[in-house]
Structure 1
Amino acid sequence: MISFSALGCTQINGAEQNAATPIATAQPDLAISGNSTPNTDSPNTDSPNTANANTASPSADPELSTAIFAGGCFWCMEQPFDQLPGVVSTTSGYTGGTVENPTYAEVSGGSTGHVEAMEVRYDPQQVSYEKLLTTFWHNIDPLDNRGQFCDQGSQYRSAIFYDTAEQQALAEASKNEIAEQLDQPIATDILPAARFYDAEDYHQDYYQTHAVRYKVYRFGCGRDQRLSDLWGAEAPSH
């Protein structure tokens, strides 16, 4: 019997679970498929995350723009943006906190002030910021003020981090539209972009590199059911 609470982004019994170790088997009735090849490279999550620091500034390519979104566990936020034509790259990471070079264990503990976030580099000639906002909203629960889905705590709160005045205006307008659509207060924050730190390598493209673990976690977290309840026909399909 798989314990779903032990599979996700959260800590278990005060100690970080080994997120880089794939599940060896899954229950057949879950009908899960994916890459179940064992990963023998266990990361040292207690080491300082010094190799992954960068800033939330636009890409060096002047043709590209940067957007940053926090939607709970970052494992679940890469795929929706990766699927959009015009998105060049997505990077899981941490932002909005006070500690330099935070590690996954530190952020998961909730003491650094960071949120798990997604940095999206995109070509604005191919995909608009408005489209990114729509994708973001339809992949989160904007009514949850304690976290997202089964991941609760300030490190999983939802937020939009704007890099320009235009992004801020568009984000605020979209938040107002969502509030009107759902007819409830929206818990998602809209904040100025802060320094962004890339998460450890084993978190990147997690939905591809640990497909079985990812699918079991996502199913057990109830994410897709809640999104369907919120958004109906607009809910994403994965």
Structure 2
Amino acid sequence: MKQIIPIVALALFFSCQNTAQSKKEQQAVINAIPIEVPIENGKARAYFASGCFWCVEAIYESVKGVEESISGYSGGYTKNPTYGASNTGKTGHAEAVEIIYNPNIVTFETLVDVYFASQNVTQVNGQGNDRGSQYRSIIFYQNEKQKNLILAKKLALEKKLNVKIAAEVYPFQKFWIAEEYHQDYEKRNPNNSYIRNVSIPRLNRFKANFPKELLKDDHH
């Protein structure tokens, strides 16, 4: 459950996260050759980690050209990660989303802009009270063009805000789809306290500051 962790437990928790992230297996993931996902039926795919995937899924689905946003896990070194395993911080994975989009309507560059505009860009290993390496910010690239674009935008934002941007930049390897009950969680659980108090306010903050012409008219 996504909630505030007691301070003592939190200290131990972060210790585990840092150890997991520094493992040689994790470094192998970071240094791997990216895998490019081919366009199918005119649809492309992009992958982002930005805290709770319930929140990120809804944010991307508010953008024109995004056909679907799927919750899952990526960036780690274990096979078949589960929600419970990911929450231990020992899999290396972060909660991530797979964005299925029409590149004729929305570009990868715009999706990266959505990414930076929808989070606290300076928070390391988390967003808000969701803390731990499983909530860390990662942008996944599938080729050198995407990598260079991401790095350029990250550097420009650091200079503009005069801060260090927390987002890591990883070569995409594999996306593991999360358990069925996580999919479209906000839509199916509008009265959930986390959705009301965290997810929807985060979505509304993003929509208030992002160009309206890039957002769907009928999205909540």
Using the size of structure 1 for normalisation, the TM-score is 0.69
SS of the aligned residue for 1:211 comes to: coil
Q: Counterparts of 1:136 and 1:201 in 2: how far apart (Å)? A: 24
- The match for 2:209 is 234
| Alignment RMSD (CA, Å) | 3.0
Unaligned runs of 5+ in 2: 10-34, 212-218
Partner AA of 2:95 in structure 1: E
Query: What's the CA shift for 1:235?
Result: 6.2
- The match for 1:150 is 129
SS of the aligned residue for 2:54 comes to: helix
- The match for 2:194 is 217
Partner AA of 1:76 in structure 2: C
Assess if the C-alpha contact under 8 Å between 2:120 and 2:127 holds in 1: yes
Partner AA of 1:217 in structure 2: Y
Q: Deviations over 1:151-197 (max 9, x none)?
A: 11111000100112211111111111221222101111011002110
Q: Deviations over 1:9-58 (max 9, x none)?
A: 7889x9xxxxxxxxxxxxxxxxxxxxxxxxxxxxxxxxxxxxxxxxx752
Q: Counterparts of 2:4 and 2:178 in 1: how far apart (Å)? A: 15
Unaligned runs of 5+ in 1: 1-5, 15-55
SS of the aligned residue for 1:118 comes to: strand
Query: What's the CA shift for 1:63?
Result: 2.2
Q: Counterparts of 1:9 and 1:108 in 2: how far apart (Å)? A: 12
- The match for 1:169 is 148
Query: What's the CA shift for 1:146?
Result: 2.7
Q: Counterparts of 2:207 and 2:161 in 1: how far apart (Å)? A: 12
Q: Counterparts of 1:112 and 1:119 in 2: how far apart (Å)? A: 19
- The match for 1:201 is 180
SS of the aligned residue for 1:212 comes to: coil
Q: How many residues align?
A: 186
- The match for 1:42 is none
Q: Identity across aligned pairs (percent)?
A: 35
Q: Aligned to 1:98, which of 65, 73, 77?
A: 77
Assess, with a 3 A threshold, how the Cα gap between structure 1 residues 116 and 106 changes in structure 2: closer, same or farther.
same
Mapping 1:1-238, distance limit 5 Å: 8=2, 58=37, 61=40, 63-213=42-192, 216-218=193-195, 220-221=197-198, 224=201, 234=209
Partner AA of 2:125 in structure 1: R
Query: What's the CA shift for 1:96?
Result: 1.2
Deviates more, 1:174-183 or 1:104-113: 174-183
